[in-house]
Amino acid sequence: MTAPAPEPTLASRAPGAAFIFKKALISALVALVLFSLMIGIRTEAGPTGQLIYWTRFGDLAAMVGAVFGGSIIVELLRQWWGPVGTIRIVPPSVQKTLAVARRGIAPVLLIFTFLVPVIFYNQRYILDLGILVLTYVMLGWGLNVVVGLAGLLDLGYVAFYAVGAYSYALLATNFGLSFWVCLPLAGILAALWGVMLGFPVLRLRGDYLAIVTLAFGEIIRLVIINWQSLTGGPNGVTGIPRPTLFGIPLTPGDDGLAARLGIEFSTTHRIVFLFYLILALALLTNWVTIRLRRLPIGRAWEALREDEVACRALGINTTTTKLTAFATGAMFGGFAGAFFATRQGFISPESFTFQESALVLAIVVLGGMGSQLGVALAALTMIGGFELFRGLDQYRMLVFGVAMVLLMIWRPRGLIGHRAPTVFLRHSQAISSDLVKEGHG
């Protein structure tokens, strides 16, 4: 399939129409095979246990027809609007407005995030959701260092999240260390795990790297489940201390924050505190990543993603460069894990399944690999959007899936599909995603 010419003639359209028809027919055929048993025949156990079944060929025909029609519509949309990189007829004025909007979106988003606890003070649900979104924003930014900048596909990121969470939980419950002492420790321990993972996978690329990191994520989870004496196994760790405001607990007691300030105690105080805590952690991640990108180490990460052989020819130690990327990403994952533990008060291996890794990776890919703003938007869409569709009940996943597919058709390189240079002489101009490599691991 080719992109349509600027002025398509009837002649050039004709093969396109045949192509679309053929494609729709194939889609309909696949749907027929798939749905003939799923929808066409309905079975149920009868009153005496025997199998009764009846056919629903009308529904089946409707479904196949819908797939046929839908396939044609999708193809037409693709041909007319096209994916990124095809000819787009957007007037310059609109493009300029979009560029202004793009510049403005980050500060507006940041100010709004700061105001969320003020605006929604009485809506616990929104605050909780905000904390959840920010946790994933932070995880996304952390993984972005590894996947987006260094181009190393990591499917086991949740392992570092788990190491951070268990580090805090175990240090706090066993040794009574405070959150603020444990936070850096959790980061350092996770970074150490990052280096430990990094060493064996240094020689691997692409698919192989992905599989080993996936296995690493599972190993950590299985160790946590089975090392009962230390981690409590599947029962998890309970009674994890809540964070304090530099030693002042957020409790109703006499020494609590509310009593000291002379205001009435409310459980919302803690939620608001947690909200600003994760916001601060996420912004720290963002700030450090933005700084690192402009330092030689960050440029080396991106160069590694672009061409590893050229890096070696320029005297860049690819081993340490990869390890620092793993360690930095893991450290942020560890911070997020420690926050998760203190927020929940209870952690168990169930929170650290592969699904979490996949979700964070989806956020990074959807956001546009390497783009900080893109990752934040993607986390908002993925986590917030998912909650938004809650009213649709069982269709929620379906709507979500369709939204993802559409996004990948129109923006195959993510929401923010261009790269901003780290240094410039005269003017910084965005680099098209077509040129930027995705890395081979």
Partner 1 sequence: MSGDCILSVDRLTMRFGGIVAVNDLSFGAERRNITALIGPNGAGKTTVFNCITGFYKPTSGAMRLTHDDGRDIRLERLNDFRISKQAKVARTFQNIRLFPGMTALENLMVAQHNALMLASGLTFLGLIGAPSWRSAEKRAIDQATLWLDRIGLLERADDAAGNLPYGDQRRLEIARAMCTEPALLCLDEPAAGLNTRESAALSELLLAIRADHGVSILLIEHDMSVVMEISDHVVVMDYGVKIAEGSPQDVRDDPKVIAAYLGADEEEAIAVMESGT
Burial-class residue 28 by CB neighbours within 10 Å (0-12, 13-18, 19+): buried
Asked if 314 is part of the footprint of partner 1 (rule: CB under 8 A), the reply reads yes
Residue 289, classed as helix, strand or coil, is helix
Residue 23 or 411 with smaller CB distance to partner 1: 411
For residue 305, the minimal CB distance to partner 1 (Å) is 8
Q: Contacting partner 1 (CB under 8 A), which of 106, 126, 297, 399?
A: 297
Q: Contacting partner 1 (CB under 8 A), which of 173, 266, 268, 318?
A: 318
What distances in angstroms separate CA 104 from CA 109, 110, 111, 274, 342, one per listed residue? 9, 10, 11, 27, 34
Q: Contacting partner 1 (CB under 8 A), which of 92, 247, 315, 391?
A: 315
Q: Contacting partner 1 (CB under 8 A), which of 8, 200, 253, 296?
A: 296
Q: Contacting partner 1 (CB under 8 A), which of 312, 392, 398, 410?
A: 312
Asked if 292 is part of the footprint of partner 1 (rule: CB under 8 A), the reply reads yes
What is the spatial distance between Cα 276 and Cα 95, in angstroms, rounded to a whole number?
Answer: 35
Asked if 419 is part of the footprint of partner 1 (rule: CB under 8 A), the reply reads yes
Asked if 437 is part of the footprint of partner 1 (rule: CB under 8 A), the reply reads yes
Closest Cα to residue 437, out of 413, 403, 408? 413
Residue 2 or 429 with smaller CB distance to partner 1: 429
Asked if 310 is part of the footprint of partner 1 (rule: CB under 8 A), the reply reads yes
What is the spatial distance between Cα 216 and Cα 208, in angstroms, rounded to a whole number?
Answer: 12
Q: Which of the ranges 91-99, 132-140, 277-285, 417-425 carries the binding residues for partner 1, by CB under 8 A? A: 417-425
Q: Binding-site residue total for partner 1 (CB under 8 A)?
A: 39
For residue 145, the minimal CB distance to partner 1 (Å) is 13
Residue 88 or 291 with smaller CB distance to partner 1: 291
Asked if 425 is part of the footprint of partner 1 (rule: CB under 8 A), the reply reads yes
Closest Cα to residue 260, out of 239, 246, 276? 246
For residue 325, the minimal CB distance to partner 1 (Å) is 12
Neighbours of 352 (CB within 10 A): 26
Q: Contacting partner 1 (CB under 8 A), which of 163, 220, 271, 303?
A: 303
What six digits make up the tokens of 323? 């390890």
Site residues for partner 1, 269-288, by CB under 8 A, read 288
Q: Which of the ranges 4-12, 22-30, 387-395, 433-441 carries the binding residues for partner 1, by CB under 8 A? A: 433-441
Rg for the chain, CA atoms, rounded: 25
Beta-carbon contacts of 288 under 8 Å, excluding residues fewer than 6 positions away, are 328
What six digits make up the tokens of 302? 């991106």
| 8 A C-beta contact, residue 213 and residue 197 | yes
What distances in angstroms separate CA 5 from CA 2, 8, 12, 369, 424, one per listed residue? 9, 5, 8, 30, 36
| 8 A C-beta contact, residue 1 and residue 40 | no
For residue 251, the minimal CB distance to partner 1 (Å) is 36
Residue 103 or 390 with smaller CB distance to partner 1: 103
Q: Which of the ranges 26-34, 207-215, 306-314, 385-393 carries the binding residues for partner 1, by CB under 8 A? A: 306-314
Residue type, 143: L
What is the spatial distance between Cα 56 and Cα 40, in angstroms, rounded to a whole number?
Answer: 5
Residue 231 or 321 with smaller CB distance to partner 1: 321
What distances in angstroms separate CA 307 from CA 200, 204, 295, 313, 314, one per listed residue? 21, 15, 18, 10, 11
For residue 207, the minimal CB distance to partner 1 (Å) is 22
For residue 387, the minimal CB distance to partner 1 (Å) is 35
Asked if 128 is part of the footprint of partner 1 (rule: CB under 8 A), the reply reads no
What six digits make up the tokens of 275? 């909200």
- Alpha helix segments (H runs only) across 368-423: 372-379, 385-388, 396-410
Which residues lie near partner 1 (CB under 8 A)? 288, 291-292, 295-297, 299-300, 302-303, 305-307, 309-318, 324, 419, 421-429, 431-432, 435-437
